Amino acid sequence: MLNNDKRADKIGELWDVYDEKNKLTGRTHHRGDTLNVGDYHLVVNAIIFNIQGNVLLQQRSFQKITYPSMWTTATGGSALTGETSELAIIRELHEELNLTVTRDQLQFVKKCRYVDWIEDWYAVCIDQFLDNMARQISEVEAIGWATLSEVIQMNRNNDLDDDCILIQAKTKLFGSDNYT
């Protein structure tokens, strides 16, 4: 199924500004504008597993500003003004894949800091078929399941280094750091 929202990247979205200690500053920022040094915005991502332990792969839209057409395990985006990390990832999962998840289903994996954004990573396990997911075509070209070892090999072939986050996510959900 498809969700026909045609906007690949929503320039002008309004984001909350955080400081270096992950605290809200009370200021906001428009996407596309340069953040001040020491200011950050919040980005959220989820790695989605099925009950068999396979990982959902998504091919990013060809229209995306960053990494167009790349296959990835991450679903997410920027938190909008007033959203907590959890509310933002719940919204992103619903917008991009028509997944309805609750806070109780989310497992926090890791917080990362980059030049001007803070990134919260979650893991979620779903019992849903691909046919029931309505891709937001402005964000996602295609989806499919792969084993964790297949995903790790794909990452190595693409010079990506997020194996640690993938293994941590699977361990949070299934209690095993075995990535087969």
Is the pLDDT at 163 greater than 80? The verdict is: yes
- DSSP of 120-149, one letter per residue? EEEEEEE---GGG--EETTTEEEEEEE-HH
In the predicted model, is pLDDT for residue 5 greater than 70? no
pLDDT per residue as tens digits for the range 55-78: 999 998 888 777 788 888 999 999
Q: How far apart are CA 6 and CA 136, in angstroms?
A: 8
Residue 4: band (very low, low, confident or very high) from pLDDT cuts 50, 70, 90: very low
pTM: 0.87
pLDDT value of residue 67: 78
The strand pair at 135-136 and 74-78 is best described as unpaired
Give mean pLDDT, residues 2-10.
48
**What is the identity of the amino acid at 52?**
Q
Candidate from 105-114, 132-141, 168-177 with smallest mean pLDDT:
132-141
The pLDDT score that the predictor gives to residue 60 is 85
Domains of the chain: 11-174 (3.90.79.10)
* 147-154 average pLDDT score: 91
User: Above pLDDT 70, what percent of the chain?
Assistant: 92
Instruction: Pick 152 or 160 by higher pLDDT.
Output: 152
